[in-house]
Structure 1
């Protein structure tokens, strides 16, 4: 059975529920809006598999980077409809054509949440395009990938660490291509749900979390509605303000094991934020290759993607090397979200004073 004293640092990866032979573990949102496991003690057989696959106490060392690249898809439509360089999409497309199934993240418009889903064709793959900036619900999809088939699995570093751990226990790691990304952290789902309340959420048919309307380096939300109308919300919107404040991240994100080159993946991807390509307007991915399997994938994609060798330092520029510090206002902000306070109210009363205080302190220190 899961040790309760660990749950405060649970990442919500869902691996425990995915492998439980008794099906006694269920993943649901806790009071603060983060996915956590709930165990039916009466059904639990005490097999301890949940604790064996748990990554809460994972110790991930810096990994040797075999190759580093800036990269982008040559297909203009792919480049225009993905968040940065479209590399994950092209890897997945190659995989589907070569006998792999894909486990990636889609947005469920009925439940308004991100979910890992099993992708078996190009039509389904279209739904994985674009970043989703909150936790994904994983158990249903993850429970399907530990079989005799070949898989490409894309997820946060903590999710991929869990998949890697399970795959090694089951001795099927060679069947999997694991891809993670440079992760800022995941905000409370309450932030997203509160943000949607201010919109006509029932009639939303499509959401773009990184619209390139204002350039790929901006964070712009775009919405399409059932009546054909479209709206855009530039990076000053309250959802992104809350997210990038680091005030409402999952508790585990403040003690993340997987920054910079600490990874269990074959390939790590992300935005190429470095100044070297600051004039790029269409989108560019940063790639770190950790395994020979990752190198083989790059070699197979050279006809449809552009790869430019980079130093590891350039590939990492602009990424987080350490976990964010937990702000003192976090508990107050989460309490406000639990009590159904609006994002506008919470920003003005809680977050804005905190950010103003931080700016003043920085000025006084001469930074």
Structure 2
């Protein structure tokens, strides 16, 4: 049976709960607000399936793939691209699957509970709930079972998620190759706590008032390169927009303390993956091509022949350019191949989380100091003078990130 001794050995992918035919495994939140498997010994028959499908106990070896291809991609339909985190690659791929009579699975925010759950849709209109990154771990629930049943019924299925969720599904399906399964993973920095996020949003709801309608982690309210954490209210006067350099939940995440233990030693940080597509941002698109605007572009790695076929068929709907130097293509995306470092004060942060009101916790750890305000002012000033992108390039060079 599955038993987690060290929490870095569980990514919360849900493969173990999904495979259990006795429903003996649940995924309650721990004291840090992350899901971990809990086995009901009165139901468990010790069949061992949960251990066999665990992607951490059975790490998929990275096999170099000389046929891998890299592309820059922008969705032609600008309105949908504006609603997307970057260039709209997921929408283009998912729309193709739906046009084949298929079903698409993705992460959706429930603004009533402030939880993120994997949902399925079979209409292009339904894809809207999956756009915009969700910087919190989603509940997979019974999605793996639904994927299996749809595939067995002969339907096309597209499943999108973090690399650990994709490998969790891959192992849950016992590595069986389904010709109509399309896997899309996103380059993942790490996973912040669902419990912390829920508590934080409930506090914000009381603080701001009104009724929240939408939560957008990376909205292009000003620009693709200057994104905002946004909350839209039924009373528009109470809408909430803050850049990531000021927004407290986002600061907790990017400080590397509000991150799942497994993410500090992630087993899925690799260039060659089990998915058909790996997609991520291309903020500095001019460093790769002069043929794209700066309002949102995806970088896409295509790992399989199915991926290449789909990319060929969606060409009328996207602006696409192949990039041949793949080493350069991925070089600045450290999150693809390297785990996030643990913030040195992580343990104390979560001790405080267990003992403090969430508002007091955030004010203690992420106060809006003069330094934070100045940083925000400098960013906004650079943006308004049209030098924000150039300034970012200079800073990256000075920090040795290029």
Q: Give the TM-score of the pair, scaled to structure 1.
A: 0.89
Distance 2:64 2:309 in 1: 18
Distance 1:7 1:24 in 2: 20
Residues 44 and 6 (structure 1 numbering): CA distance in 2 closer, same or farther, change over 3 Å? Answer: farther
Distance 1:215 1:84 in 2: 11
Which SS does the other structure have where 1:153 is aligned? strand
Aligned-residue offset at 1:6: 5.2
Aligned-residue offset at 1:189: 2.3
Q: Which of 203, 207, 221 is the matching residue for 1:213?
A: 221
Distance 2:283 2:233 in 1: 32
Q: Deviations over 1:60-116 (max 9, x none)?
A: 315425210010100011111000000101111111111211111110112111111
Match of 2:29?
29
Distance 1:221 1:271 in 2: 17
Distance 1:317 1:280 in 2: 21
Match of 1:46?
46
Q: Deviations over 1:274-299 (max 9, x none)?
A: 43369843100010011111111101
Match of 2:353?
337
Residues 214 and 317 (structure 1 numbering): CA distance in 2 closer, same or farther, change over 3 Å? Answer: farther
Q: Is 1:226 the equivalent of 2:240?
A: no
Match of 2:183?
178
Structure 2, gaps ≥5 residues long: 372-398
Distance 2:367 2:205 in 1: 23
Which SS does the other structure have where 2:112 is aligned? coil
Which SS does the other structure have where 2:105 is aligned? strand
Contact 1:204–1:223 at 8 Å: present in 2 too?
A: yes
Question: RMSD of the TM alignment (CA)?
Answer: 2.2
The equivalences for 1:45-124 within 5 A come to 45-57=45-57, 58-61=59-62, 63-64=64-65, 66-124=68-126
Match of 2:19?
19
Aligned residues: 351
Aligned-residue offset at 1:194: 4.1
Distance 2:223 2:214 in 1: 19
Which SS does the other structure have where 2:218 is aligned? coil
Which SS does the other structure have where 1:36 is aligned? coil
Match of 2:148?
146
The equivalences for 1:133-172 within 5 A come to 133-147=135-149, 148=152, 149-169=155-175, 171-172=176-177
Distance 1:348 1:215 in 2: 26
Distance 1:4 1:221 in 2: 34
Match of 2:332?
318
Match of 2:309?
296
Match of 1:9?
9
